[in-house]
Amino acid sequence: MRESNGAVRVGVYVCHCGSNIGAIVDCKAVAEYAAGLLHVAVARDYKYMCSDPGQELIQKDIEEHKLNRIVVASCSPHLHENTFRVATAKAGLNPYYLTMVNIREHDSWVHTDRAAATEKAKDLVRGAVRRVVLQRPLEKGRVPIDPKVLVVGGGIAGIHAALTLANAGKKVYLVEREPTIGGHMAMFDKTFPTLDCAACILTPKMSTVKNHPNITLWTYSEVESVSGYVGNYDVKVRRRTRYINEDLCSGCQECIAACVFKEPKFPDEFNQRLGKRKPIYLPFPQAVPQTPVIDPETCIEFKTGKCKKTCLEACADRHAIDFKLTDTVEEIRVGTIIVCTGFQAYDARRSPQFGYGIYPNVYTSLEIERLVNAAGPTAGEVVLRDGKTVPRSIGIIHCVGSRDENANRWCSRVCCMYSLKLAHLLKEHTDAEIFNFYIDMRTPGKSFEEFYQRLLNEGVHFIRGKVAEVTDWAADPSEEGKLVLRVEDTLLGVVRRIPVDMVVLSVGLEPHADAQDVRRMFNMTCSNEGFFLERHPKLAPVNTFTDGVFLAGCCQGPKDIPDTVAQAGAAAAEAMALIDAGYVEQEPNVAYVIEEDCSGCKTCIPMCPYSAITFREQDKKAEVNAVLCKGCGTCVAACPSGSIQQRLFEDDELFEELEGVLIHA
């Protein structure tokens, strides 16, 4: 051990944690032992060190005994390190002159032998005392927060987050990939369980977004790159051209009427390809912004260059249409980012046993949303794909692509309820006989179970069983011309064949196909299913592992509209908390490079999970960005020349602690 200059005076505090520690570790004996260690000026045991009297004990001793190093042997530093650092600082000592010894999780909770556990506590305390002697005073850094926010995705989550922030006076950029905001919610007819008209409650919010002075709305746009760190993100956004200048367009839609295609001819994506659109189109009547878009894949001018361009004539003096427009890239600086990129519906073709894409009258739930919608391709008339037959019987299959080992294993959470809603709407529209095929009914939301009861009372049939197949094979004449659902009715204990005119597949929710690209761009992590991972499933549900990047909506996992809106509000509040604080404090326990020893081998760079290390070309040295560094220590361990060190975990501190633990006195 190094010779002390006599100035180091350590205080050791051994906590009983009620009986959590005290029952197994003889705390008094540990304190008495510690009192005899080199540099220790005072050592005490106490019932609850984290209590106010416990903290005051430390503060009093610092003054009275002129202590300048503190060791607290108690629980995990995860719980109370901050408590004791604050107590230490209040007494005028640098808070990084504190070290904690975990004699609860690492000792009393995992041992039963009192004598051995007490010896272990002594060993750990001895190590900590030797370590704390070498610890250096450290200062927290401060990073200013740019008050502007980027919201990625313009579904109900992004809309709500953007409006919440904008109403609080924050400047927001809202970026949406599609030509309009609104997301999936805009496609829905009604919402469960209240049967509110989705458009009636959503479209006012959409226009508020468009007109809000604090929101810059970029639709038909995608984030191309993100760099920087919390408070200071530099973002590039590619704004795809619509070939119509948004600033010049008045939204009169004369161009659409004037298109050389007199009738809509191409599959309409917004209507799930059930309807048709022109090459120049607005996705739906209340789209925001009200600027049409030209699809170069179907527009004759783009395909042949020989169109009469009647749309240009219609636009006349406004000159909003310009076939030569190109994509533009906007570069912005924001302090925080909220990712609300939503979900994609499970592709029912992946479960061919349900016949989607094989039998025309098998539909997905999203198709039915459009079919029952007054603004949909049939103006709300529910007819089969022949365009005229009203179905007399309908089977709704739950859990398509969900809770299925061969597809996605998770429950998509919303399908039971939207299946009930669709059953109600289809019955209302057609008076057909309706069968729901479910594995389990999951209706755990507010007023959800009551809605289920209502459907039972409305005479909708519920058959408990997973449908084995949908077939057009008729076993007897009564099945001719029908789709037959073959299912084991697990309540009756028999295999049934139920012939219907129409089959609805309640498809599940899954991450977007490009979720991994988005994850990488925003430096997030994904759960096994591919949904973006929150920092803590219970206590940090809208945070990610990257500071300043938050999550809301179905990109984090399947959820319904109320949950999505609640989460979007929470994400906005988290962003605001950073903005209003003005800065974030950075823990000083970051890695740093000893430049004269660095050989420039770049081993450390790919090891860093936070992309905090860069290579300085001019002198061929690695450099750690202290703002991005989270102090994980991976690079320190990886560096072959030992030229990366980490503050608070310096080699000499760690070796001294190890030695202290291992020389069993």
Binding site for another protein (CB under 8 A): 351-353, 358, 469, 471-473, 475
Judged by CB, which is closer to another protein: 261, or 356? 356
Judged by CB, which is closer to another protein: 327, or 480? 480
Q: How far is the CB of 469 from another protein (least distance, A)?
A: 7
Please measure the distance between the N-terminal and C-terminal CA atoms of the chain and give it in whole angstroms: 14
Q: How far is the CB of 185 from another protein (least distance, A)?
A: 32
Judged by CB, which is closer to another protein: 258, or 484? 484
Judged by CB, which is closer to another protein: 405, or 517? 405
Biggest alpha carbon distance in the chain?
102
Judged by CB, which is closer to another protein: 473, or 583? 473
Q: How far is the CB of 487 from another protein (least distance, A)?
A: 15
Phi and psi at residue 332, to the nearest 5°:
-130, 160
Q: How far is the CB of 427 from another protein (least distance, A)?
A: 28
Q: In terms of Cα–Cα distance, which of 146, 96, 37, 19 is closest to 647?
A: 96
Q: How far is the CB of 502 from another protein (least distance, A)?
A: 17
Judged by CB, which is closer to another protein: 469, or 650? 469
Q: In terms of Cα–Cα distance, which of 13, 19, 31 is closest to 71?
A: 13
Q: How far is the CB of 370 from another protein (least distance, A)?
A: 26
- Nearest-angstrom CA–CA distance, 394 and 391: 7
Q: How far is the CB of 353 from another protein (least distance, A)?
A: 4
Q: How far is the CB of 348 from another protein (least distance, A)?
A: 12
3-state DSSP of 427-481? HHHHCCEEEEEECCCCCCCCCHHHHHHHHHHCCCEEEECCEEEEECCCCCHHHCC
Judged by CB, which is closer to another protein: 473, or 615? 473
Judged by CB, which is closer to another protein: 358, or 662? 358
Burial class (CB in 10 A: 0-12, 13-18, 19+), 436: buried
Whether the CB-CB separation of 232 and 143 falls below 8 Å is answered with yes
Q: How far is the CB of 379 from another protein (least distance, A)?
A: 32
Q: How far is the CB of 652 from another protein (least distance, A)?
A: 51
Whether the CB-CB separation of 644 and 635 falls below 8 Å is answered with yes
- Nearest-angstrom CA–CA distance, 1 and 246: 73
Whether the CB-CB separation of 377 and 269 falls below 8 Å is answered with no
Q: How far is the CB of 472 from another protein (least distance, A)?
A: 6
Phi and psi at residue 411, to the nearest 5°:
-80, 130
- Nearest-angstrom CA–CA distance, 44 and 11: 8
Q: In terms of Cα–Cα distance, which of 361, 259, 362, 367 is closest to 310?
A: 259
Judged by CB, which is closer to another protein: 5, or 406? 406
Judged by CB, which is closer to another protein: 469, or 623? 469
SS3 57: helix
Judged by CB, which is closer to another protein: 269, or 347? 347
- Nearest-angstrom CA–CA distance, 188 and 191: 7
| Number of other residues whose CB lies within 10 A of the CB of residue 224 | 15
Q: Which residues of 269-279 are buried (b: 16+ CB within 10 A; e: fewer)?
A: ebbbebbebbb
- Nearest-angstrom CA–CA distance, 240 and 218: 10
Whether the CB-CB separation of 179 and 219 falls below 8 Å is answered with yes
